[in-house]
A and B are shown apart, each in its own frame.
Chain A
Amino acid sequence: MARTRLKTVYRHPLPVRIGHWVNALCLLILLLSGLQIFNAHPHLYWGSASDFESPWLSIDYHWSRDDGYSGWTRVYDWQADTTGVLGASPGADGELEGRAFPAWLTIPGSRWLAMGRSWHFFFAWILVINASLFLIWALFAGHLKRLVPTVEDWRGFGQSVIDHLRLRHPTGEAATRYNILQKLAYLTVIFGLGGLIVLTGLCMSPRMDTVLEPVLEFFGGRQSARSIHFLAASGFVLFVAIHLFEVIVSGPVNQLRSMITGYFRYHDHATGVASNRENRHDG
Chain B
Amino acid sequence: MTDNTRRRFLKTLLAGGGMATLTGCDYLSEKPWFRDTLAQSEKLSDAVQHAITPRKAMAREFTPADISPRFRANGTTDPEGAEYRALAANGFRDYRLKVGGMVENPMTLDLAAIRALPSRTQITRHDCVEGWSAIGQWTGARLSALVEQARPQPEARYLVFHCADRYGRSDSPYYESIDMEDAHHPQTLLAYELNGEPLPIANGAPLRLRVERQLGYKMAKYVMAIEVVDRFDHIGRGKGGFWEDRGYAWYAGI
Could you tell me which A residues sit within 8 Å of B by CB distance? 28-29, 32, 37-38, 40-41, 43, 45, 48-52, 104, 107-110, 112-115, 117-119, 121-122, 124-125, 204-211, 213, 216, 222-223, 226, 248, 252-253, 283
Choose among A50, A107, A124, A204 the residue that contacts B25 (Cβ–Cβ < 8 A): A107
A118 touches B215 (CB 8 A): no
What residues of chain A lie closer than 8 Å to B66, measured between beta carbons? 48-49
Known: A48-B62, A118-B39, A121-B45. A206 touches B26 (CB 8 A): no
Q: How far is the CA of A14 from the CA of B251 in the complex (A)?
A: 37
Choose among A49, A107, A122, A253 the residue that contacts B6 (Cβ–Cβ < 8 A): A253
What residues of chain A lie closer than 8 Å to B93, measured between beta carbons? none
Could you tell me which B residues sit within 8 Å of A by CB distance? 1, 6-7, 10, 21-22, 25-26, 29, 35, 37-42, 44-45, 49, 52-54, 57-60, 62, 66, 68, 70, 72, 125, 127-135, 212-215, 243, 246-249, 253-254
Known: A206-B214, A207-B253. A112 touches B40 (CB 8 A): no
A115 touches B29 (CB 8 A): yes
B133 touches A48 (CB 8 A): yes
What residues of chain B lie closer than 8 Å to A40, measured between beta carbons? 129-131
With both beta carbons as reference points, the residue of chain A lying nearest to B36 in the complex is identified as A118
B10 touches A206 (CB 8 A): no
B59 touches A49 (CB 8 A): no
Is the contact region of chain A dominated by helix, strand, or loop, or is it mixed? helix
B25 touches A32 (CB 8 A): yes
Q: How far is the CB of A231 from chain B (nearest CB, A)?
A: 15
Choose among B37, B39, B58, B72 the residue that contacts A210 (Cβ–Cβ < 8 A): B58
Total A-B residue pairs with C-beta atoms closer than 8 Å? 138
Q: How far is the CA of A208 from the CA of B54 in the complex (A)?
A: 10
Q: Could you jot down 20 A-B contacts, CB within 8 Å?
A: A48-B125, A48-B133, A49-B66, A49-B134, A107-B22, A113-B130, A114-B243, A114-B246, A114-B249, A118-B35, A118-B42, A121-B42, A206-B214, A206-B215, A207-B214, A210-B53, A210-B60, A222-B125, A248-B10, A252-B6
With both beta carbons as reference points, the residue of chain A lying nearest to B254 in the complex is identified as A205
With both beta carbons as reference points, the residue of chain A lying nearest to B42 in the complex is identified as A121
Q: How far is the CA of A104 from the CA of B59 in the complex (A)?
A: 38
B249 touches A209 (CB 8 A): no
A119 touches B38 (CB 8 A): yes
